[in-house]
């Protein structure tokens, strides 16, 4: 209650906050009626009472605002709690679903492993049976092998008795063959010495109609005939002596032979050219050059292949 004379009240702030809205309004109206019924002597307290009333009104407004805020907070908390419960339920369901899936996967793997184990056991049994069959086959093969060895030894003894005279005769023939080979080597050396002596004689006493065997061999192995070159004013033999002599020296070096000098080689080619189907037509000087050139630079119907 509010004392009109002093403007004080025995209601504490804490009790005032706990009062209901109707009680506060009733207290306000009671105080207001007392103020209207007060005497004129109490006018000095009017301003203080009005201030108190204004403060009470402000406190009432604050209480109302706080109550609305509390209601909103409680509503928001309820909504948040509802969402949290929905999430918890969702996670619980998801956990149960994952657990069921894990159980299915484990069952699938367990089943697959059991099938694999059964398959491996079956294969193991088949391999054991196959090994038994192979062991029996190997035993039979070993018996056959022993029989074959015995038969081969018997055949070897039999054939050796028959072939022994032939082998002895073969040894005699080998010895005779060695003797003939040594004689043949002597004949070959004699032939080579004779050939070298013959070539030496030809070099010392050249025959205008006989070629050196070395040059003849080179022509046979490395050359072939070629027609005259008719692209110019008059036909000429295609290759010069120097080109042919260069190739001839390389050939003689590979064959480990001593090549004759250029003039000897030239005379031998002139013999070949004269006896060939082309014939030899050569001049003495450059001014008298013919189909086969002239003596200083002769040309021939030969081509190195």
- d(CA 88, CA 264) in angstroms, rounded, equals 119
Q: Where are the alpha helices (DSSP H) in the chain?
A: 13-18, 21-36, 46-204, 213-222, 241-254, 262-275
Contact 117, 124 (CB under 8 A): no
Structure token pair of residue 69: 């805020």
Q: Which of 268, 154, 161, 158 is nearest to 206 (CA)?
A: 268
Q: Which residues pair with 9 in a beta bridge?
A: 2
How many CB atoms sit inside 10 A of residue 123's CB?
Answer: 10
- d(C-alpha 6, C-alpha 200), whole Å: 171
Structure tokens, 70: 């509390």
Q: What are the tens digits of pLDDT across the range 54-109?
A: 777 777 777 778 777 878 888 888 888 788 888 888 888 888 887 777 776 666 66
Residue 162's pLDDT band, with cuts at 50, 70 and 90, is confident
Burial of 260 (0-12, 13-18, 19+ CB in 10 A): buried
The DSSP output letter for 301 is S
Rounded-to-integer distance, Cα 237 and Cα 256, Å? 30
- Residue 223's H or E segment, with its range, is strand 223-225
Residue listed under structure tokens 């250029």: 262
Take residue 37 and report the two structure tokens written for it: 């019924």
Provide the whole-model pTM: 0.35
Q: Specify the higher pLDDT residue, 140 or 243.
A: 243
Q: pLDDT-based confidence at 40, cuts 50/70/90? A: very low
Under DSSP, is residue 284 helix (H, G, I), strand (E, B) or coil? Answer: coil
**d(Cα 64, Cα 72) in Å, to the nearest integer?**
12
Higher pLDDT, 153 or 249: 249
- The whole-chain average pLDDT of the chain stands at 79
Q: In whole angstroms, how far apart are CA 197 and each of 200, 201, 204, 216?
A: 5, 6, 10, 17
With bands split at pLDDT 50, 70 and 90, how would you rate the model's confidence at 17? low
Look at residue 19 in the predicted model and tell me its pLDDT. Answer: 63
Tokens of 216: 């003849």
CB 196 within 8 A of CB 205: no
pLDDT at 50 over 80: no
CB of 240 within 8 A of CB of 299? Answer: yes
pLDDT digits (tens, 9 = 90+) for 21-36: 677 667 667 766 766 6
Find, among 294, 237, 228, 299, the residue nearest to 269 by Cα. 299
């Amino acid at each position: 209650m509010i004392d009109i004379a002093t403007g004080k009240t025995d209601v504490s702030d804490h009790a005032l906050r706990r009062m209901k809205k109707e009680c506060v309004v009733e207290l306000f109206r009671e105080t207001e009626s007392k103020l209207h019924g007060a005497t004129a002597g109490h006018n000095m307290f009017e301003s203080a009472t009005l201030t108190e009333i204004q403060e009470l009104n402000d406190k009432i407004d604050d209480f109302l605002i706080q109550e609305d805020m509390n209601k909103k907070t409680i509503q928001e908390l309820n909504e948040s709690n509802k969402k949290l419960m929905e999430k918890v339920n969702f996670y619980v369901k998801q956990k149960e679903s994952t657990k069921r899936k894990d159980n299915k996967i484990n069952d699938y793997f367990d089943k697959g492993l059991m099938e694999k184990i059964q398959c491996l056991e079956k294969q193991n049994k088949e391999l054991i049976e196959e090994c038994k069959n192979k062991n029996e086959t190997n035993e039979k093969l070993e018996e056959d092998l022993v029989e074959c060895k015995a038969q081969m030894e018997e055949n070897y003894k039999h054939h050796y008795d028959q072939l022994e005279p032939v082998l002895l005769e073969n040894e005699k023939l080998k010895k005779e063959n060695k003797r003939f080979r040594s004689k043949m080597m002597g004949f070959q050396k004699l032939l080579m010495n004779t050939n070298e002596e013959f070539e030496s004689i030809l070099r010392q006493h050249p025959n205008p109609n006989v070629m050196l065997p070395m040059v003849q061999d080179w022509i046979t192995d490395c050359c072939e005939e070629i027609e005259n070159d008719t692209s110019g004013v008059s036909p000429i033999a295609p290759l010069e002596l120097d080109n042919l002599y260069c190739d001839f020296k390389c050939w003689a070096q590979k064959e480990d032979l001593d090549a004759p000098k250029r003039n000897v080689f030239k005379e031998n080619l002139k013999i070949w050219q004269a006896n060939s189907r082309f014939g030899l037509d050569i001049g003495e000087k450059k001014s008298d050059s013919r189909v086969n050139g002239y003596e200083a630079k002769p040309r021939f119907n030969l081509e190195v292949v």
